[in-house]
Amino acid sequence: MAVYFHEEDLPEGVLAPGPIAVDTETMGLVTPRDRLCVVQISDGQGDEHLVRFNSGSDYDAPNLTAVLADPERLKLYHFARFDLAAIEYYLGVMAAPVFCTKIASKLVRTYTDRHGLKVLVEELVGENISKQQQSSDWGGKELSEAQRDYAASDVRYLHRMREKLVERLEREGRTELAQACFDFLPTRARLDIAGWADHDIFSHM
C-alpha cells in the first residue's frame, strides 16, 4: 500500500480498470467560493493517488478529467453530492455514474442516525480512521504527512464498504431505490451550484 502525490494532474495509466473511489478536499463548503485543492482516487488495489491543485491553478488536468468523466467507470463516494459539485465546478466534468456510501447507509442502517465515514469504516470493515485533519488548511504550499494520510484514508475503504452496503441493499429490497437516488445526484449537485443548495424544490413550501 502506498500513497502517491501528484501536482495538477494524474499520471496516465496509474489506475486499474473498474470502479474508482473518489473524494475531494476544498477550502470550505461553499463550492463557488472555496476552491478545489485536492482530488483523491483509489482503484481499490491498495494504492491511493492524491492530485493537488495550487492557488491560481487553471485546473487543466486532462488525464484526471478523462478518468472522472468516463461513463463506463463507476465512481464511489461518501457524500457524493458535495464532491460532484466541486469536480464539475472546477474541473468541468460530471464525475458519474455514482455509488454514494452515505446514501446507501441511510437506506439500510436505519437503526442509527450516524452515517459519517469514520463510523461506517469501523462498522463495515473493522478499521479506524482519524478525522483530525478534516478541517485543516488544504490550500497551503505544502501538505503535511498527516494531511496526506487523512486524504488517502477517505478513499482507501470505499470499495470494501460498497460491497457490504450492496449486500444490505439487496437484503432489504432497496437496491432500485438506491440506484434512483444515485442517478439523481448529478442533478442535485448542479442545483447546489446554481443556488438551490438550501432549498427542497420538492417540498410544498
3-state DSSP assignment of residue 184: helix
Instruction: Name the CATH superfamily, with its identifier, for domain 2-196.
Output: Ribonuclease H-like superfamily/Ribonuclease H (3.30.420.10)
112 contacts: CB under 8 Å, gap ≥ 6:
119
User: Grid coordinates 413550501 are at which residue?
Assistant: 205
pLDDT at position 164 is: 98
Q: What is the DSSP letter of 79?
A: S
Pairing assessment for the beta strands 2-7 and 98-100 based on DSSP bridges: unpaired
Pairing assessment for the beta strands 36-42 and 98-100 based on DSSP bridges: unpaired
pLDDT at position 141 is: 87
pLDDT at position 130 is: 75
**Sequence-ordered alpha helix ranges (H) in 101-141:** 101-108, 117-125
Q: What is the DSSP letter of 10?
A: P
pTM for the model? 0.95
Looking at residue 16, its amino acid is: A
pLDDT at position 1 is: 80
* DSSP annotation string for 147-168: HHHHHHHHHHTHHHHHHHHHHH
Q: What is the mean pLDDT of each run of 10 residues along the chain (205 residues)?
A: 95 97 97 97 97 97 98 98 98 98 98 95 90 80 92 96 98 98 97 92 86
pLDDT at position 199 is: 87
* pLDDT 10s digits, 45-61: 999 999 999 999 999 99
Would you give the distance in Å from CA 119 to the centre of its chain? 16
3-state DSSP assignment of residue 175: helix
62 contacts: CB under 8 Å, gap ≥ 6:
9
3-state DSSP assignment of residue 1: coil
